[in-house]
Structure 1
Amino acid sequence: MKLVVQVRLLPDAATEAALRETLKRCNQAACHASRRAFTTGVTGKTALQRLVYDEVKAMGLSAQPAIHCIRKAAGAYAALNENLKAGNYGPAGSRRRASVESTPVRFRKDAAQPFDDRSLSWQIQDRTVSIWTVHGRLKGIAFACSAEQAVLLAAHRRGESDLVWRGGCFYLYATCDVPHAPVYVPDGFTGVDLGIVNVATTCDGTVHSGRHINQVRHRNRRLRTKLQAKGTKSAKRLLRHLSGREARFATDTNHRISKSIVTEAQRTTHGIALEDLGGIRARVRLRKPQRVTLHSWSFAQLGAFIAYKAKRAGVPVVHVDPRHTSQECSTCGHIDRKNRPDQATFECTLCGFAEHADVNAARNIAARGAAGWAVSHAADDAA
């Protein structure tokens, strides 16, 4: 499995200026390649490289960075075409789609730039890197990382590393190809119900409340509205400062929750059962005040975090059909909307069973996960 290790560079003032100039020049070259691809219709990696390689090198880049800039432009057009096919920019003839199709792909002057091992070398023990810049090769640039990250980099780093400028700091993102642990045979399943009021609830009654997350989001939304209405330079400066803070907070929360769920499942030798919530935003119809909450709900990220942490630990994960999990009684199986008199309460109208609604849903998810695992592995054993 692939993991991304992020380390922070600690350059001096001269080195930082050289790195910023390098990013700027590389993205100018990528924009030039993008414009040529747009005007000529040549978007394939090899064909585009033949077309603009000499032009990009003449902009002050050496061979490998020039090739990576061209590949970055070609990759952007490949992603654009896939998004157009998927309808992510609206139907044919729509204003948004027409705008996207009528302009070349552009890159920010500080957009991330990939470097291969010819242009970037790591000295893990010394915690330094050597990197190509437009002002020559710079050696001995210090970076900061944890001991665990250093072990991952030394043992499993593969391929390119991305130079990223974010929040006034330089980072290197390195891809590590880590072997995952063998999956054990689970002794039962832990069902996880994902929600908005409670971010995650497990079938053993553990509730990870979303109250604090929603309070932070509402506060940030009100603050953004006020600052955008004010429109002064100081307001815009504060908006830039606040950008990304909410996303980082939600990501950190999801990491903590997913780690807790996977650790407990590993301790009890359970598997993890999750709802397959793909396309939920298109299926669910909500009143306007609730739409912002739904669309800022990072359930996909939490599910992805649980899946990759479980894979690393050898914990089996199954995805189940989410239909009626919140309306079905986990004791007798009776399904009825009236079983949910309110958001937090489940009371079966047939057998009288009562439980916290999210815990009841998590038990149904666990049961479906165990059934799905038994069916799939019975078929594997028969084969």
Structure 2
Amino acid sequence: MWLLIATCDVPDVDVTEPDAFLGVDLGIANIATTGDGKRHSGKHLNAVRHRNRELRRRLQAKQTKSAKRLLKARRRKESRFARDVNHRISKSIVTEAQRTGRGIALEDLQGIRDRVRLRKPQRVTLHSWSFHQLGGFLGYKAARAGVALIYVDPAFTSQQCSSCGQVDRKNRLDQASFSCTSCGFAEHADVNAARNIAARGETGWAVSHAA
């Protein structure tokens, strides 16, 4: 298992030794889900972005100067929208981690677009969402709050049981449901994945900070 420990240049703030880790799973149905069960739903966000895509498509088809101006304005509005959502999600996660004396374990974002297998409409949403921006906001907010942040390998976190550790693709019944074929543990699939990410964060932190 490989990991990356996030660093950020924030003066006069020491990272607090975490008692445990709050795992965060990223996705489309839920933009971010924590191991505590907090889900930042993507349903409303995806509906807004779908409407924006339709507006852009119509504006692009017109090819007029006014349409091009409106298109640029629409893109700036979308960028502000994504930035605001990512700010609110990252603030919520960091605040909870700080309140409970935990660090944050996040899946490494490198190659996230290649890892996720989705239907075409969902792929459009995935490729247009600013996951790296969300990761960056988590990084600097965690550093500013003195909260440890570690990136872990997310391989098989969606198939692994966070209760017994068994890995089986059959454990993932559908997008939202997880039921272990070995021990019978059942949980929301994203929450289960977030708990696996948290466990990898704890292990990685212990290894990297061993005396």
Choose 276-285 or 325-334, whichever is displaced more: 276-285
Counterpart in the other structure of 1:357:
189
| Equivalent position of 1:257 in the other structure | 89
2:159 is matched with 327
- Answer yes or no: is 1:232 the counterpart of 2:36: no
Does structure 2 retain, via aligned residues, the 8 Å contact 1:216–1:246? no
* Partner SS state of residue 243, structure 1: helix
Q: Point out where structure 2 has 5 or more consecutive residues left out of the alignment.
A: 1-7
Q: 2-side partners of 1:288 and 1:204: how far apart?
A: 30
Equivalent-residue separation in structure 2 for 1:206 and 1:180 (angstroms): 31
Instruction: Give the count of matched residue pairs.
Output: 204
Separation of aligned partners in 2, 1:248 and 1:254? 10
Unpaired segments ≥5 residues, structure 1: 3-177
Note the C-alpha offset of 1:263: 0.9
Q: What is the root-mean-square deviation of aligned Cα atoms in Å?
A: 1.6
Q: Deviations over 1:100-144 (max 9, x none)?
A: xxxxxxxxxxxxxxxxxxxxxxxxxxxxxxxxxxxxxxxxxxxxx
- Counterpart CA distance in 2 for 1:279 and 1:295 is 11
Distance in 2 between residues matched to 1:201 and 1:213, nearest whole Å? 15
CA offset at residue 185 of structure 1? 1.1
Q: What is aligned with 1:242?
A: 74
Q: Output the CA distance in 1 between the equivalents of 2:195 and 2:12.
A: 28
Instruction: Report 1 or 2 for greater relative contact order, CA contacts < 8 Å, sequence distance ≥ 6.
Output: 2
Q: Distance in 2 between matches of 1:247 and 1:236?
A: 17
Structure-2 change in CA distance of 1:253 and 1:372 (3 Å): same
Counterpart code for 1:224: R
Give, in whole Å, the separation in 1 of the partners of 2:84 and 2:172.
Answer: 32
One-letter amino acid of the structure 2 residue matched with residue 291 of structure 1: R
Aligned 8 A contact 2:59 2:67 in 1: yes
Name the CA shift for 1:276/1:303 in 2 (closer, same or farther; >3 Å): same
State the match for 1:304 in structure 2.
136
Which residue among 280, 289, 292 is the counterpart of 2:124?
292
TM-score, normalised relative to structure 1: 0.51
In the TM superposition, residue 236 of structure 1 has moved relative to its aligned partner by: 2.5
The residue number in structure 1 matching 2:3 is: none
The Cα of 1:288 is off from its aligned counterpart by: 3.9
Answer with 1 or 2: which has the greater Rg.
1
- Matched residue SS, 2:163: coil
Shift in Å, 1:180: 4.5
Percent sequence identity is 73
Matches within 5 A, 1:114-153: none
Work out which of the residue numbers 191, 216, 224 in structure 1 matches 2:23: 191
The answer to whether the Cα contact below 8 Å between 2:171 and 2:181 also exists between their aligned partners in 1 is yes
